[in-house]
Structure 1
């Protein structure tokens, strides 16, 4: 009788009794002979599990490891040689070396520190028939050139595997959209025809799309002055190197057309930019394949080219016999608790750009060109050159389709909030693009929920959306401030350039999550043709429980903390949106009223005690969560958010129902 799933868990146990005490003593105390077995920290899978039987994670001191003599442990020496080959000057660090081992698998080695973040060295057997020691596994071959025939064959297998697989229903349905096709495409030409920009005139074409960083290098763009010229002929030599590679990839895949934003949108036409950027969601969704130049920082950085070759690590057994031991650099793109812990994590400059997130999320099929290998994702699965088997792993492009297919509105709201959490960590060249750069995803959410979009929040999930909070910096010198130029209302996460998080609720928590505010009215004022894009004003009129409080600021270890004083309760620490300052605003009758607002970079931070208003937004169990508000300087009849709070319901027993305008 098989074990129930709840019992199929890794177990930690003492060293195997099958080994004699003498053989155990031969294991190196530092590296355990790079063997995941028979260490006090070894973890063993149950017999029912499909994963390798033993695993071991070692954390080694870099300085101590670097002092290991060449005549010492031959396993430590192999580890040191691999580190020397890929982590320059690691010997001088005071960090940690992390060694992850699994039985019959490769060994993953990383070094702590921002310099080597996400970088991993993989040690593996060069030959499956002659492994240096029994527990070391082999690795899949990765071509040393991303433009090789072998690599293009891998891409074709990935695409055809997606298209032909009957289980990939989400990949087939995703390309059906009511929004029109791109207005323009780049015709990559044939032997008898030139490269040019063509008007699609509403017709359907099979095309690729490019996702890339613009960067600071000169970039060929379509403008009113050169549109007619580019519609006739574009010389291959005048294209940026990245665009040249994108055209080569398009041709290699048997396609004739590609969509490149800088060429297919007239950049100095506001009307054309707003109209076409609003359609980006469907443009990437309907593309045959999205080419993601993940490792290219700008148009001058090619995505086709040579990669760093693996290195040979000298290794001999006790009899002097030499074995094929290899090491190569990989990027830690596999999800946590691989392979089923979540979507893959492609790494490169493009993953820090805000516009690229919706291109990733909304693509039906996407090919990431990273520094070390190719990663393919679709709405159903992902494959990479280091793990080419086709399996139904979670993917980022599947996030919204799966949420919609679940027919649970809560799943769609959760998908939106998770996307915003990622989006808020990314950068924009033009700060005013905060809403346009996410409008493609917002369009999909609106279509799925039929909810009103309220400056980055949703009417159907308003209470939960209002309770976003800033992921505060760990150091005193890296604090956040209010924006110099208004971009969004204070109740929106888009009003700050800061990473934000939400309290993601599961099904059980949603049942006890009770909104305590009601929406009486709302307004947003779009500035252009994109109804989900840039706005000039927005407000919410809410009714909910309020109580007056005093907000106190205090500096601790160089950082500012803010606490609420409410009559009859203990102090409540808030999660502030950024540095806060006290200020005076004039009331309707001309009197000055003390309040609190978000601080600007040139504001002097100091201790204060000033009145604020607390608005209860939602209740769950015996807790209530809400907003901390100050009187608005823009509209003295309205309130602006400065932070959030959470406290026991007894803290807000003496509340008063009140109508408030938030701006």
Structure 2
């Protein structure tokens, strides 16, 4: 009678399976191994299947070479998906980082704390059989996308998207970029050339589809750029050997997929012409939105590193079973889908979600393009993006993800949530102006009618509105890196232009004119913040989130109670102005505004006081410096805007401008959770007590709309 290994049951499904706690095991899962690495090593001396597992793990020893083996826990599971019948590999997970949170509780740091430190897969060919029945089929990852199998895979992905997704159609099918690279030359080694839509000989350009490239510039050393000096020459020829490897591979891929034209920003924009760069930034939504495909060099730090990153190695292991039968088993690190996965709860407001850019250090290192602000905007605007990573190819479109391993959206293989902001963005952008206006009206009415007694469920429909989505996009966008301060509003202009279909009001310097609550932004890390450099002709006002650099920007978009505060923009009387790069003053009219005394309690710690009652205060810039410098004892203005569902009071702190009286500058967002009696050891009072201490003349909060307004012009 065959004896089963106590550690792994021989990885044979016909033998008695190891004891399992069925209540704790996930569905569709059979766990074969749950032990430590030293125990597996000891067991491998007398068990062929344990030896196979150990061999596959040690092939990846570089990942845990500095870790003591007794800290490493090993589990091996067979997962059965009801939607992915083409693979049933053995999943082997290694965990060595300690964590206090129970993974089953789905903590806020789920994919950092609970996702295994190393996840391997053991599999056979699609038509092969293993000597160990627990090891089933898997999919091979294509090493060279330019080979026939690679081109076929990409074509199949694009065909499936085009055939099934209505949102993935061109946003403006009549649009053609002003310049495109023409790849029609039979031999690319002889070079390519730049075509302009105004050239009489190239009228046919408008009739062809084109691809776009998204990549990291890196240091940009030696990279070809179209300038006023090279423009004429590039229309004749751009020498092949001057193109960095990523450009060359993008050209070859585009031609292999049967497309003649390619858009690359460094070559299709005249880099030393400010007016051309401005035009291109305002057309970014059309340029990427109408590209049939955006090719993304997602794992490369710069173009010289190439588009097709070397893949993680797949090892082939020859194994014998107890009867001497020989078979092949493949072992590789399972594609982790990197920063396309996030820990989030769909029931939470967007700004309570974990930032996608807060993925693990390793994930960020392996997908550096995803950490760039320009690339984030390009990704949102594109109809479909083909990501090339060191793991696999992924196609991200306006409705779904596709990947080579086929598991990115399969919760059986990976329970982490896939980031859906691109899909949410596409759905909002698909709203017509009329529908968008009607939708926004309903949300505004809903917020105005909401009282403190209402629960958050009453705002469930508001979580999907375009303003909420915009706030989340800005939060993700500002968490990414950008080289030049002057590009911050420029890079996101195309995103705003696209969302303007759903938000039918004016847009100024990153802010939508319909949203007073949008002024309640705040930097996540004030100690990392600074004011951006101003450019002649472009002024970023202090009320705009773009007036602060160095930290992700968060927003307070939902209000439990409106405190009778409104904002208006007096720009030529227009409500639909689109001024994406600069702005002037906003007029704030508030029923509850008062002077307060600023105090510096300790280095980097501040408070505001009135009538013997103090509240902690966090300015936008910490420590206060430059034009934000405030002396302790100086008088500021506190303008209350709303009450949150967190039972905190929200508002803005203003300071009279030193140069443009009687205008004001924003110093920071105000949020009061509790208020303290000055020089007293008494317990703090809750936030609502602030009303009676700072506004004793307000007898009835329900009558705020009847009170006279204080008016502040904020620049």
So what's the TM-score if we normalise by structure 2? 0.70
2:28 to 52, 58, 67: 52
Residue matched to 1:429: 483
Would the alpha carbon gap of residues 452 and 65 (structure 1) be closer, same or farther in structure 2, given more than 3 Å must change? farther
Aligned length: 586
SS at the partner of 2:301? Answer: coil
Residue matched to 1:527: none
Residue matched to 2:427: 402
Deviation at 1:632, TM superposition (A): 4.0
Residue matched to 2:392: 373
Kindly indicate whether the alpha-carbon contact (under 8 Å) linking 2:143 and 2:311 is maintained by their aligned counterparts in 1.
yes
SS at the partner of 1:26? Answer: coil
- Say if 2:379 is the partner of 1:360: yes
Deviation at 1:146, TM superposition (A): 3.1
Would the alpha carbon gap of residues 68 and 659 (structure 1) be closer, same or farther in structure 2, given more than 3 Å must change? farther
* Alignment partners' CA distance in 2, 1:414 and 1:72: 59
Residue matched to 1:123: 121
* Alignment partners' CA distance in 2, 1:579 and 1:324: 60
Would the alpha carbon gap of residues 582 and 190 (structure 1) be closer, same or farther in structure 2, given more than 3 Å must change? closer
SS at the partner of 1:422? Answer: helix
- Say if 2:172 is the partner of 1:176: yes
Kindly indicate whether the alpha-carbon contact (under 8 Å) linking 2:309 and 2:388 is maintained by their aligned counterparts in 1.
no
Kindly indicate whether the alpha-carbon contact (under 8 Å) linking 2:520 and 2:652 is maintained by their aligned counterparts in 1.
yes
Correspondence list, 1:67-146, <5 A: 71=45, 81-82=55-56, 84-86=58-60, 88=62, 90-93=64-67, 101=77, 103-104=79-80, 106-109=91-94, 120-126=118-124, 130-131=129-130, 137-146=136-145
Residue matched to 1:251: 255
* Alignment partners' CA distance in 1, 2:318 and 2:615: 61
Kindly indicate whether the alpha-carbon contact (under 8 Å) linking 2:244 and 2:304 is maintained by their aligned counterparts in 1.
yes
* Alignment partners' CA distance in 2, 1:196 and 1:539: 46
Would the alpha carbon gap of residues 231 and 515 (structure 1) be closer, same or farther in structure 2, given more than 3 Å must change? farther
Correspondence list, 1:436-475, <5 A: 436-463=490-517, 465-472=518-525
Would the alpha carbon gap of residues 338 and 645 (structure 1) be closer, same or farther in structure 2, given more than 3 Å must change? closer
1:651 to 690, 700, 715: 690
Would the alpha carbon gap of residues 584 and 163 (structure 1) be closer, same or farther in structure 2, given more than 3 Å must change? closer
Deviation at 1:397, TM superposition (A): 3.5
Deviation at 1:517, TM superposition (A): 1.6
Correspondence list, 1:133-282, <5 A: 137-165=136-164, 168-172=165-169, 174-176=170-172, 180-191=175-186, 195-201=192-198, 203-216=206-219, 217-282=221-286
- Is there any run of 5+ residues in structure 2 with no aligned partner, and where? 81-87, 99-111, 348-352, 412-417, 441-461, 674-686, 698-708
- Say if 2:96 is the partner of 1:43: no
SS at the partner of 1:651? Answer: helix
1:615 to 607, 629, 639: 639
Would the alpha carbon gap of residues 543 and 504 (structure 1) be closer, same or farther in structure 2, given more than 3 Å must change? closer
Residue matched to 2:622: 579
Residue matched to 1:493: 545
Kindly indicate whether the alpha-carbon contact (under 8 Å) linking 1:595 and 1:611 is maintained by their aligned counterparts in 2.
no
Deviations 1:147-202 (A, max 9, x none): 3221111100111122233xx11112x43267x42111100123289621011238
Deviations 1:353-381 (A, max 9, x none): 11111110010111111111100122222
Kindly indicate whether the alpha-carbon contact (under 8 Å) linking 1:213 and 1:297 is maintained by their aligned counterparts in 2.
yes
Deviation at 1:469, TM superposition (A): 2.3
Deviation at 1:278, TM superposition (A): 1.2
1:383 to 373, 394, 402: 402
Kindly indicate whether the alpha-carbon contact (under 8 Å) linking 2:638 and 2:653 is maintained by their aligned counterparts in 1.
yes
Would the alpha carbon gap of residues 365 and 154 (structure 1) be closer, same or farther in structure 2, given more than 3 Å must change? same
Would the alpha carbon gap of residues 313 and 219 (structure 1) be closer, same or farther in structure 2, given more than 3 Å must change? same
Most deviating of 248-257 and 446-455: 446-455
Deviation at 1:73, TM superposition (A): 8.6
Deviation at 1:626, TM superposition (A): 1.7
Most deviating of 631-640 and 342-351: 342-351
Deviations 1:412-444 (A, max 9, x none): 112211211111111112221000010100111
Deviation at 1:107, TM superposition (A): 3.5
Kindly indicate whether the alpha-carbon contact (under 8 Å) linking 1:628 and 1:645 is maintained by their aligned counterparts in 2.
no
Kindly indicate whether the alpha-carbon contact (under 8 Å) linking 1:358 and 1:438 is maintained by their aligned counterparts in 2.
yes
Residue matched to 2:581: 534
* Alignment partners' CA distance in 2, 1:642 and 1:36: 61
More helix by share: 2
C-alpha RMSD over aligned residues: 4.4
Residue matched to 1:543: 589
SS at the partner of 2:428? Answer: helix
Correspondence list, 1:283-302, <5 A: 283-302=287-306
Kindly indicate whether the alpha-carbon contact (under 8 Å) linking 1:146 and 1:306 is maintained by their aligned counterparts in 2.
no
Would the alpha carbon gap of residues 293 and 583 (structure 1) be closer, same or farther in structure 2, given more than 3 Å must change? closer
- Say if 2:652 is the partner of 1:627: yes
* Alignment partners' CA distance in 2, 1:516 and 1:98: 59
Deviation at 1:623, TM superposition (A): 3.8
SS at the partner of 1:449? Answer: coil
SS at the partner of 1:140? Answer: coil
SS at the partner of 2:569? Answer: strand
Deviations 1:194-223 (A, max 9, x none): 621011238343111111111113110111
* Alignment partners' CA distance in 1, 2:131 and 2:33: 20
Most deviating of 98-107 and 300-309: 98-107
More strand by share: 1
SS at the partner of 1:614? Answer: strand
Deviation at 1:660, TM superposition (A): 1.6
Correspondence list, 1:504-519, <5 A: 512=560, 514=562, 516-519=564-567
SS at the partner of 1:448? Answer: coil
Kindly indicate whether the alpha-carbon contact (under 8 Å) linking 1:220 and 1:263 is maintained by their aligned counterparts in 2.
yes
* Alignment partners' CA distance in 2, 1:99 and 1:627: 52
Deviations 1:447-478 (A, max 9, x none): 32221113211111231x222222238xxxxx
Kindly indicate whether the alpha-carbon contact (under 8 Å) linking 1:221 and 1:267 is maintained by their aligned counterparts in 2.
yes
Kindly indicate whether the alpha-carbon contact (under 8 Å) linking 2:604 and 2:622 is maintained by their aligned counterparts in 1.
yes
Most deviating of 84-93 and 238-247: 84-93
- Say if 2:341 is the partner of 1:335: yes
* Alignment partners' CA distance in 2, 1:316 and 1:68: 19
- Say if 2:69 is the partner of 1:26: no
Would the alpha carbon gap of residues 595 and 238 (structure 1) be closer, same or farther in structure 2, given more than 3 Å must change? closer
Kindly indicate whether the alpha-carbon contact (under 8 Å) linking 1:68 and 1:77 is maintained by their aligned counterparts in 2.
no
Kindly indicate whether the alpha-carbon contact (under 8 Å) linking 2:309 and 2:389 is maintained by their aligned counterparts in 1.
no
Would the alpha carbon gap of residues 196 and 416 (structure 1) be closer, same or farther in structure 2, given more than 3 Å must change? same
Residue matched to 1:595: 630
* Alignment partners' CA distance in 2, 1:130 and 1:504: 56
* Alignment partners' CA distance in 2, 1:76 and 1:550: 70
Most deviating of 315-324 and 336-345: 336-345
Kindly indicate whether the alpha-carbon contact (under 8 Å) linking 2:181 and 2:261 is maintained by their aligned counterparts in 1.
yes
Deviation at 1:492, TM superposition (A): 2.0
* Alignment partners' CA distance in 2, 1:523 and 1:73: 78
